[in-house]
Structure 1
Amino acid sequence: MEKKKVYRLRPHHGMCLAYFEGKGYSSSFSSHVGQMLEILENGAEIKLIVSGDEICSACPNLEKNMCRTAERTALYDRSVLELCDLRENEILGFQEFVSKVEQMILKPGRREAICGDCQWDEICRKKKSRWEK
């Protein structure tokens, strides 16, 4: 039996993907994020990591495999882990993960305290989360 792929995912991407609308650093990056969102929403398992993940792999902010905003995004990741009572390297279903992000961060209005300094904050502020039930 073939082993199911586990996708590496930064915890803060649970918030980013909730508001993703195809705008981004470049058209190729936006296309990649859209493809990853489709894969993840179709029953994928994820491993939560505080470093470059499947989404970051196409990001133009990567320089020699390092993110230009590594310290700030690591803070975002650690905040999501803490608020959702999750651990780095934890493996779980993508749907379970985004449900926790929605219930523990997005619905109670905690997103802006975590990543309100992000350049994409305006998009997130104006939209409804795709995970909202």
Structure 2
Amino acid sequence: MRKPVKLRAHHGMCLAFFEGKGYSSGFTANMEKVKNSLREDIPVELCMEKDVICSACPNLEKGVCATAEKVKKYDIMVLSACGLSEGSQISWQEFSQAVGKNIIKAGRRKEICGDCSWTEICTRKEKEEQ
């Protein structure tokens, strides 16, 4: 079996709404690369620490996340809503479906990450899909 991609739990929501905008051009390019690499059968290991997306984030300063407590709360809530735990290894398809069903379609996104700096994009996309 292929080695799992380490992925912060809340990034399941970020990837669902990502539209090519980000903190910086480097971050955006990395996010696009990660999104394009996650095919249905790719295994992911859910975590609450630096992952493949964080590696290009300007909030990561000398290996320490400037928004660590805030995003850890998002991770905990995503895992709980999806009935998963830190370290769970599942396919990208299973995880993205769990996020879609238990958070996005259930109308819980704002509850989990409504204070995120990108919430306007997610809110707009949710309205477009209604």
Partner residue, 1:76 = 74
Q: Does 1:104 align with 2:106?
A: no
Q: Does 1:26 align with 2:24?
A: yes
Deviations 1:59-109 (A, max 9, x none): 111011111000000000000000100010010000100100000000011
Letter in 2 for 1:41: R
CA shift at 1:5, angstroms? 2.6
**Distance in 2 between the 1:39 and 1:58 partners?**
16
Could you list the runs of 4 or more consecutive aligned residues of structure 1 that deviate by over 3 angstroms after TM superposition? none
> SS at the partner of 1:23?
coil
Partner residue, 1:59 = 57
Q: Which runs of 5+ in 2 are unaligned?
A: none
Q: Which runs of 5+ in 1 are unaligned?
A: none
Structure with a larger share of its residues in helix: 2
Q: Provide TM-score, normalisation by structure 2.
A: 0.94
- Indicate the RMSD between aligned Cα atoms, in angstroms: 1.5
Q: Percent identity?
A: 49
Q: Does 1:47 align with 2:48?
A: no
Letter in 1 for 2:99: V
Count the aligned residue pairs: 128
